[in-house]
Each structure stands twice: as structure tokens, then as C-alpha cells.
């Protein structure tokens, strides 16, 4: 943020069906890491999803996601100029924020690492790739795009094809904290051990209820549903108990990035002034609050764009 930028802040819950060490990155079910895909769920595809539809939730939302009031979705929450709230930017409030594009052969943006091929799993040093940020509120005529290339001279080059990490160092994690209070505040969890202790007890109660119903059930289709539910509860309890602190500690993780935007910069919408796409825009963001059982976490960030309020003169360029 500077005195000459319009700062668009966003936040919300995201989901990522991601394999974890010691599973290889391309493991689709989860065999030896602490995350797994249950039998009727989608595979582990690594994709960072800032928004999901009802069908996705029907397949993948595990109890008690909805019961906790968690909604997957990232939106603009505030707009400021020169460090103060900027009321003419109200048209941006509530706009949908998304990451688009694909890291082939995967079907969307990911935390690129490939088991330490790039970055480092040990220090949570990743590249979010591709980085194509979109902010849209069609009803208000709002559209923003911030596209950053790993190598602007070769936009098609994939990260794993780059042998010199200095070429993508600016896109690696800028900071990592394992016990961060901002992440704890964002998800409202300060006792990580108690959080998963309560989760385990909750799942055990669901298992007992399903077992009781199964004993009294005569409908074959319903019996199969209950048997499946019991096994999923058992599997989740096992993961929480077996992995212990490796699961619970992630709740207060915060992994941060900050970098310029070197690619396409698009802006449409009335925000009380002129948005410039000439100087580099800058973005800072963090992912954290990771629940390895529900496969959800929290993201918060700010896109800073060049801006001149209506009525002020544009700065002149020096030759």
C-alpha cells in the first residue's frame, strides 16, 4: 500500500483437495499422508478453489463443515485509499475473487512444489501457479484482472521446467509462521488440540448413531449408506489420532506471499477516480488456518492498483 494506490482487500474460506507427504504430489486418494479422499468423494487434485458450487459441496463437504457455518467463498471486504476507507469504491465490496487458469496436467491453480521439485515442503515455500486473479461483480459492472507470469519473456514456460530457482524466487513464499494469531482469529480457533479433540468426539458420536440405526434398519439401500458412513467416520478419526500434532498444528499456519503483477492488468468499474494499468500493481496474500480433515483453510489479501482520485491531476512522466 502507498499513497497512490487503491487497495482492494479480500478474504474468505478456500478448499484444496491436496495430497500430503509422504504421498507423492500426484496421489489421487491419499495413502500415506494425513489427507485422503473418501470413497465417494472427488479425487485429490491439488486445485486451489476459492469458490465451489452446490454439486461440489454435495460430493465433498464433510460434516461438520455446514454445521459450523463455514461457506467456501472469497470476496472483496474493503477498499481503501491512502490508508483510509474509500467510500467511492463501494461497488467492489462483495465482488467475487477467484484464481483461474491451469497448471497442466492439473485442472486449476495449485501450490506448486511437486515434492520439493520446486520450493520446499519443509519450509512451506511454494509458488501459487498460475497466478491469474479475477475480481468480478457483473451486476455492478466490476471486472479486475491481475495476471503474473513466472517468466514474462516465456509465458508458456512451466515452473518445473525452470532449473534456476532465482528465476521464480519472487513468487516463492515471503513468510511462514506456524503459530500465527491472525490466522487463529480468522477462523476463530485458538485451542488447536481442543478443536480436533472435539472433532474426534463428534465423529465418534456420529459413528455410534449410524451403528445404532444400522442395527434397527431393514432397508438394504439405507443399510449400505450407513455402512459407508460408519467407515468414513472411522477413517477420519484414525487420521486425526494417528497424525496428531501434524494435523492440529496446521490450524494456526500462515503462509504469505507478496509480489508485483507483471502481466495483464485490467480494471472496469466506477471507483471514484482513474485506475492506472501502467505502473506495476502489487499483491500480498496469505493462506492458512488449514483444517486437514475438512480440507479447508482461509485466505486473506490485498491487491494494490495505481489510482488517482477524481478531480486530482495525473502525475506527469519524466523523460
CA-based Rg of the chain, rounded to a whole angstrom? 22
Q: In the prediction, which pLDDT does 121 show? A: 63
Does the pLDDT of residue 136 top 70, yes or no? yes
Give per-residue pLDDT as tens, 71-125. 999 999 999 998 899 999 999 999 999 999 988 788 899 998 765 555 566 667 8
117 CB contacts (<8 Å, ≥6 apart)?
Answer: 160
Q: In the prediction, which pLDDT does 318 show? A: 46
Does the pLDDT of residue 319 top 60, yes or no? no
Collapse the DSSP code of 182 into the 3-class scheme (helix H, G, I; strand E, B; otherwise coil) and give the result.
helix
The answer, yes or no, to whether the previous bond of 297 is cis (omega within 30 of 0) is: no
Parse the chain into domains and list their residue ranges: 5-186+251-309
Does the pLDDT of residue 314 top 90, yes or no? no
Give per-residue pLDDT as tens, 232-245. 999 999 999 999 99
215 CB contacts (<8 Å, ≥6 apart)?
Answer: none
Give per-residue pLDDT as tens, 186-196. 999 999 999 99
In Å, how far from its chain's centre is CA 145? Answer: 18
Query: How many other C-beta atoms lie within 10 A of the C-beta of residue 200?
Result: 18
Closest Cα to residue 313, out of 79, 4, 2, 1? Answer: 4
For the chain, the average pLDDT equals 92
Question: C-alpha distances in angstroms, 23 versus 33, 292, 305?
Answer: 5, 14, 40
Pick the more confident residue, 162 or 130: 130
Q: In the prediction, which pLDDT does 229 show? A: 97
Query: How many other C-beta atoms lie within 10 A of the C-beta of residue 145?
Result: 18
Give per-residue pLDDT as tens, 149-165. 998 888 888 887 888 88
- Burial (0-12, 13-18, 19+ Cβ within 10 Å), 291: buried
As given in the structure block, the three cell numbers for residue 91 are: 461497488
Q: In the prediction, which pLDDT does 211 show? A: 98
Q: Are 223 and 285 in contact (CB under 8 A)?
A: no
Closest Cα to residue 59, out of 78, 79, 45, 80? Answer: 45
Closest Cα to residue 144, out of 154, 153, 133, 152? Answer: 133
Amino acid at each position: 500500500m502507498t499513497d497512490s494506490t487503491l487497495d482492494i482487500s479480500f478474504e474468505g474460506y478456500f478448499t484444496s483437495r491436496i495430497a500430503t507427504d509422504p504421498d507423492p504430489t500426484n496421489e489421487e486418494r491419499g495413502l500415506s499422508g494425513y489427507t485422503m479422499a473418501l470413497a465417494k468423494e472427488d479425487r485429490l487434485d491439488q486445485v486451489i478453489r476459492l469458490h465451489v458450487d452446490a454439486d461440489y459441496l454435495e460430493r465433498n463437504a464433510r460434516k461438520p463443515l455446514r454445521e459450523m457455518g463455514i461457506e467456501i467463498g472469497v470476496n472483496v471486504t474493503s477498499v481503501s485509499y491512502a490508508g483510509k476507507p474509500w467510500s467511492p469504491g463501494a461497488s467492489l465490496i462483495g465482488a467475487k475473487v477467484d484464481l483461474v487458469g491451469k497448471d497442466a496436467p492439473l485442472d486449476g491453480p495449485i501450490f506448486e512444489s511437486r515434492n520439493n521439485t520446486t520450493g520446499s515442503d519443509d519450509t512451506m515455500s511454494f509458488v501459487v501457479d498460475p497466478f491469474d486473479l479475477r475480481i468480478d461483480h457483473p451486476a455492478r459492472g466490476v471486472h479486475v484482472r491481475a495476471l503474473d507470469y513466472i517468466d514474462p519473456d516465456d509465458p508458456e514456460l512451466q515452473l518445473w521446467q525452470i532449473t534456476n530457482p532465482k528465476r521464480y524466487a519472487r513468487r516463492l513464499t515471503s513468510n511462514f509462521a506456524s503459530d500465527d494469531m491472525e490466522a487463529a482469529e480468522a477462523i476463530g480457533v485458538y485451542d488447536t488440540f481442543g478443536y480436533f479433540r472435539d472433532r474426534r468426539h463428534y465423529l465418534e458420536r456420529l459413528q455410534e448413531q449410524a451403528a445404532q440405526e444400522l442395527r434397527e434398519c431393514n432397508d438394504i439401500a439405507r443399510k449400505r449408506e450407513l455402512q459407508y458412513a460408519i467407515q468414513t467416520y472411522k477413517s477420519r478419526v484414525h487420521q486425526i489420532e494417528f497424525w496428531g500434532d501434524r494435523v492440529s498444528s496446521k490450524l494456526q499456519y500462515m503462509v504469505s506471499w507478496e509480489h508485483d503483477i507483471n502481466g495483464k492488468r485490467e480494471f472496469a468499474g466506477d471507483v471514484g477516480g482513474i485506475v492506472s494499468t501502467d505502473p506495476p500493481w502489487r499483491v500480498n496474500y496469505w493462506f492458512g488456518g488449514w483444517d486437514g480433515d475438512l480440507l479447508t483453510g482461509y485466505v486473506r489479501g490485498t491487491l494494490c492498483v495505481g489510482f488517482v482520485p477524481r478531480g486530482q491531476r495525473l502525475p506527469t512522466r519524466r523523460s
